[in-house]
A and B are shown apart, each in its own frame.
Chain A
Amino acid sequence: MSRLQIRDVSVLYPGVNGGEAVTALSGININIEPGEFVVALGASGCGKTTLLNLMAGFIQPSDGYLTLGDSSIAGLPRVACGLDLKDQISGPGKDRGVVFQKHALLPWLNVLENAAFGLKLQGVGEKERKARAADYLKLVGLEDFHNHPVYQLSGGMQQRVGIARALTNDPHMLLLDEPLGALDALTREVLQELLLDVWQETQKMMFFITHSVEEALFMASRLIIMSPRPGRITHEFPLEFNKIFLENRDARKVKSMPEFIAMREKVLGIIHGDEVAGGGLH
């Protein structure tokens, strides 16, 4: 297992029609250790998704670099900025599975084929890839839906397929971009518990984006709070509510613990303070 490192990363988006450049992220430094469940929380526009896209290798930083173990995901260390090293930037790769807010499943494939799609791209034979996909579909509770067209499933089930698809590839880490944001409150709670179970079972590194404070506190083993203009990390908290849940299996009890409520108030205070300051700029 290897850690994900982010060093001095900034992202500047050039201004539209000669307008001012926008600093989406500024001076980001974090490590994500094996087995961690890191949740990024913040208001819209604080650069959460930009950070995730960097980790996935979909975009390049204007400054700084990201590495996973020995391989470079995006950007290069300043000392090694030679042109010949550009080839060593891996970009997106199967070591980092992504679950999107909009499920991004392929409507022409059924549930099983969608879950097995990553293995198909890697040339794994049909029988084996379907067997492996079936294992993960069972893990997310979809063992009876193998042959359904994905566009006939509910939003929650589509997201389950998305999670199974990312897991089937057996990545080092999962990047989850507000995967539960579009779901109803009940489905959302069910999938929160499911994701924690998956985390416990597979011991994968997780990077999870949300703008729900309660969800962030419940899921995270480390919470990072981000703030906009420019996007940066302002606070970090180690948390253990997820471990408490995995022991007692009672989400309502965890979410009504005095410590949970106190933490929620604290985090809400931080975020609201930011929003007032941010709002003042308009």
Chain B
Amino acid sequence: MNQTTAATTPVNTEASFNTVVKPTILKRCLSIFAAGPVKPGESYGAPGQGKSLAISLFTTAMLIGIWYIATYFQWVKPLFLPSPGAVVMRFWEVATEGFANATLLEHTGWSMMRVFSAFLLALVTAVPIGIFMGVNRIARGIFDPIIEFYRPLPPLAYLPLVIIWLGIGEVSKIVLIYLAIFAPMALSARAGVKSVAMEQIHAAYSMGGSRWQVIRHIILINALPEILTGMRIGIGFGWTTLVAAEMVAAQAGLGFMVLNAAEFLVTDIVIMGIIVIGIIAYLFDMLMRYLEKKLVPWKGR
């Protein structure tokens, strides 16, 4: 008896398993939104958990693959989309021989000088002003309308004004990028100040802290994570504004190189310039994320 039941039961369950589980296509499509079983260390129903690095690498490889295939079979004219090989060749050519009277290193150097000077300038002005706006109503009253007014304006709209006022030299280029970085950095610092927990401030006062000590030991440190986020957002805006800044009277620079190449329809240099800007910005963002982990490991605790 025992032997027969042991032999038959698994067959039965397998059969019922095969007949019952047949989801429709619609159900299969919707199943990515369903909460599925979780791996150890994950919590049930948490949105978007799991690693995505492998998928990101796959996506990147796929894009380059499609790009390669599309150019290999001449689906698009090289004028519109040059092959990856051509772009790499151009990279080497511009790196060694140069383009528009400057090598790639010089172009990159000039652009980085402009973006990072503007970034440092913004760091030493926007962060203090943002903090001041957070802790003082008069400072907030003064700076809020100014920042909120110019913040949504496209840099190209006030570029002519900056050139009329400051000329066509380096100053106007750096100021244009500086203005783009300033607003998000100041507003982040201000939001950081506002995010401090009232209990921490009260605790410090009831331990005999002065107003200045509370600002220095509680508010400033509490604002640090948001200030770092503001720096990341700010430098992103800086790279976004680079091409606009190098539109007028630049002799070198990545933005200038791209614009100049576009005028002569040298599409491979345009694409190469875009990729170089993208990689530099991405590397800097990684550095900032690393700094964030080192400086504020307590973020969100």
B-binding residues in A (CB < 8 A) = 56-58, 91-94, 96-98, 100, 102, 104, 106-108, 117-118, 120-122, 149, 151, 165-166, 169, 175
A165, B197: Cα distance in complex, Å: 17
The residue that B202 contacts in the complex, of A92, A106, A121, A165, with Cβ under 8 A, is A92
* Other A-B pairs, 11, CB within 8 Å; known A57-B205, A100-B199: A94-B207, A96-B206, A98-B203, A102-B197, A104-B200, A104-B202, A107-B298, A117-B204, A117-B217, A121-B209, A166-B207
Encoded as 1 (CB less than 8 Å from any A CB) or 0, chain B from 185 to 222 comes to 00000000000010110111111111001000110010
Query: Does B206 lie within 8 Å of A151, measured CB to CB?
Result: no
- In the complex where A100-B199, A106-B200 touch, is A94 in contact with B206 (Cβ < 8 A)? yes
B39 within 8 A of partner (CB): no
Query: Does A58 lie within 8 Å of B202, measured CB to CB?
Result: yes
Query: Does A121 lie within 8 Å of B217, measured CB to CB?
Result: yes
Residues of A within 8 A of B218 (CB): 106
Q: Closest chain A residue to B208 by CB distance?
A: A94
Interface size on B, residues (CB 8 A): 20
> Can you list 26 A-B pairs with a CB-CB distance of less than 8 A?
A56-B202, A92-B205, A92-B206, A93-B206, A93-B208, A94-B208, A96-B206, A97-B207, A100-B199, A102-B197, A104-B197, A104-B200, A104-B202, A107-B301, A108-B298, A117-B207, A117-B217, A118-B207, A120-B217, A121-B204, A121-B207, A121-B208, A122-B207, A151-B298, A151-B301, A165-B207
Query: Does B199 lie within 8 Å of A104, measured CB to CB?
Result: yes
Query: Does A56 lie within 8 Å of B206, measured CB to CB?
Result: yes
A93, B209: Cα distance in complex, Å: 8
Residues of A within 8 A of B120 (CB): none
B195 to chain A, nearest CB (A): 13
B296 within 8 A of partner (CB): yes
Query: Does A118 lie within 8 Å of B202, measured CB to CB?
Result: no
A258, B184: Cα distance in complex, Å: 66
A96, B202: Cα distance in complex, Å: 12
Q: Closest chain B residue to A122 by CB distance?
A: B208
Residues of A within 8 A of B297 (CB): 149
Q: Closest chain B residue to A93 by CB distance?
A: B208
A5 to chain B, nearest CB (A): 19
A277, B160: Cα distance in complex, Å: 72
Residues of A within 8 A of B213 (CB): 121
A83 to chain B, nearest CB (A): 21
Residues of B within 8 A of A93 (CB): 206, 208
The residue that B296 contacts in the complex, of A56, A98, A106, A108, with Cβ under 8 A, is A108
- In the complex where A121-B217, A151-B298, A151-B301 touch, is A104 in contact with B203 (Cβ < 8 A)? yes
Residues of B within 8 A of A98 (CB): 202-203, 206
B25 to chain A, nearest CB (A): 47
Residues of B within 8 A of A118 (CB): 207-208
Query: Does B298 lie within 8 Å of A91, measured CB to CB?
Result: no
Residues of A within 8 A of B203 (CB): 98, 100, 104, 165
Residues of B within 8 A of A108 (CB): 221, 296, 298
Most interface-central of A91, A100, A102, A120 (chain B CB within 10 A): A100
Residues of B within 8 A of A57 (CB): 205-206
B150 to chain A, nearest CB (A): 33
Residues of A within 8 A of B209 (CB): 121
Q: Which B201-251 residues sit within 8 Å CB-CB of chain A?
A: 202-210, 213, 217-218, 221
Nearest first, the 6 closest Cβ-Cβ pairs linking A and B are A94-B208, A118-B207, A104-B199, A107-B298, A151-B301, A92-B205
Residues of B within 8 A of A104 (CB): 197, 199-200, 202-203
Residues of B within 8 A of A151 (CB): 298, 301
Residues of B within 8 A of A102 (CB): 197, 199
Query: Does A97 lie within 8 Å of B199, measured CB to CB?
Result: no
Query: Does B206 lie within 8 Å of A97, measured CB to CB?
Result: yes
Residues of B within 8 A of A106 (CB): 200, 218, 221
Q: Closest chain A residue to B207 by CB distance?
A: A118
A87, B199: Cα distance in complex, Å: 24
Residues of A within 8 A of B210 (CB): 121
Encoded as 1 (CB less than 8 Å from any A CB) or 0, chain B from 139 to 177 comes to 000000000000000000000000000000000000000
A96, B206: Cα distance in complex, Å: 6
A101 to chain B, nearest CB (A): 8
Residues of A within 8 A of B197 (CB): 102, 104
B215 to chain A, nearest CB (A): 12
Query: Does A91 lie within 8 Å of B207, measured CB to CB?
Result: no
Residues of A within 8 A of B217 (CB): 117, 120-121
Residues of B within 8 A of A175 (CB): 206
A281 to chain B, nearest CB (A): 30
A43 to chain B, nearest CB (A): 23
Residues of B within 8 A of A122 (CB): 207-208
A119 to chain B, nearest CB (A): 8
B213 to chain A, nearest CB (A): 5
Encoded as 1 (CB less than 8 Å from any A CB) or 0, chain B from 275 to 301 comes to 000000000000000000000111001
Q: Closest chain B residue to A101 by CB distance?
A: B199
Q: Closest chain A residue to B217 by CB distance?
A: A121
Q: Closest chain A residue to B218 by CB distance?
A: A106
